[in-house]
Structure 1
Amino acid sequence: MTTLRIEPIPADTCARLLRSDDAGRPPVLSTPAEGGAPLRCCLTRARPGEPVALVSYAPLRRWAAETGADPGPYDEQGPVFLHADPCDGPAPGWPDGLHTGSRVLRAYDRRGHILRGVPVEPAEARSRAEALLTDPEVAVVHVRALGFGCFFHAVRRA
């Protein structure tokens, strides 16, 4: 059994994204009365009336900068929600409350190239991510929405 490290968007990265996102644009701020936006800063869902920011985020690009990888054409960016103000980050463990729909787990190698994508339902996402990380070729797994492809969080070996 592999011990997992669940990685939200780090607080310092969130602070930068709230000034200018990875597409060079300012965040789109809103305060949805109904709440529910999946927040990538703390891996929870926004409460009703809680201010959120929608930004463009390039998770593989940031991971590559940290590790020295060169994802080349696998680099992509997409929309993610954050708290509009700094938060305390996530609670430890797998964020079950965040995963209410089908997901795809994308396994990347050390170069940042996609090795495989595995569609999963919420109940099996953690165990399937763990299984992917038993493969020594897999360096990081991204959890994404199956329907829209939006990044939720990364998973690595602890």
Structure 2
Amino acid sequence: MTSHHARPIEPAALKELRSTDDAGRPPSPYADPEGGAPVRCCLRRSEPGERIALVSYAPLRRWAAETGADPGAYDEQGPVFIHAEECGGPEPDGYPFTGAHRVLRRYSAEGRILGGRLVGPAESFDEAFAEAFTDPAVVLVHIRAVEYGCFLYEVRRD
């Protein structure tokens, strides 16, 4: 039985992003007036008044730097919300941000896209991840928002 779990942005990457994002820009922290932003450091929605920052993040590039892969043209960067200061990280409670359509992109050890799947709000994410990891070539799955295409989090085999 293969197990897998949602992974927030790693603490070392968060420290770097709070200084300079993956597009080379310093963050502009602000107090979130309404709350509800999907915060990638702790995999929950922000609370009204929390200090957050919208930064550019390149998840596949950072993973490739860890593993020695070369994502080539699949190297994307895009906007993600993080807490402006260090936070306690996520509570291990399943898969966050599942109340809308999501795209699960599958990647190989070389950093190439192996396929994807659209998952609706009423569908089982457990089932979708089990299906993805049935293929032994899949080492990483990125979960992205359909409406904006933003990276939400990644799932790897345990």
What TM-score bracket applies, with the shorter chain setting the length? over 0.9
Secondary structure of residue in 1 paired with 2:65: helix
1:105 equivalent in structure 2: 104
Please identify runs of 4+ aligned residues in structure 1 that moved more than 3 A: none
User: What's the CA shift for 1:121?
Assistant: 1.7
Tell me the alpha carbon deviations over residues 39-86 of structure 1, each in whole angstroms, 9 at most, x when there is no partner: 000000000111111000000001001111111000010000001110
Contact 2:5 2:95 in 1 (8 A): no
1:73 equivalent in structure 2: 73
**Partner Cα distance (1:83, 1:36) in 2:** 13
1:48 equivalent in structure 2: 48
1:147 equivalent in structure 2: 147
Secondary structure of residue in 2 paired with 1:137: coil
The Cα RMSD (Å) is 1.2
Q: Which amino acid aligns with 2:104?
A: L
Size of the alignment, in residue pairs? 157
TM-score, length-scaled by structure 2? 0.94
Contact 1:6 1:93 in 2 (8 A): no
1:20 equivalent in structure 2: 20
- Segments of 5+ residues of structure 1 without an aligned counterpart are none
Secondary structure of residue in 1 paired with 2:109: coil
2:89 equivalent in structure 1: 89
1:3 equivalent in structure 2: 3
Q: Which amino acid aligns with 1:110?
A: A
**Partner Cα distance (1:62, 1:139) in 2:** 15
User: What's the CA shift for 1:146?
Assistant: 1.1
TM-score, length-scaled by structure 1? 0.94
1:120 equivalent in structure 2: 119
**Alignment identity in percent?**
54
**Partner Cα distance (2:92, 2:153) in 1:** 13
**Partner Cα distance (1:29, 1:88) in 2:** 18
**Partner Cα distance (2:101, 2:5) in 1:** 21
- Segments of 5+ residues of structure 2 without an aligned counterpart are none
User: What's the CA shift for 1:12?
Assistant: 1.5
**Partner Cα distance (1:93, 1:77) in 2:** 27
Secondary structure of residue in 2 paired with 1:110: coil
User: What's the CA shift for 1:100?
Assistant: 2.1
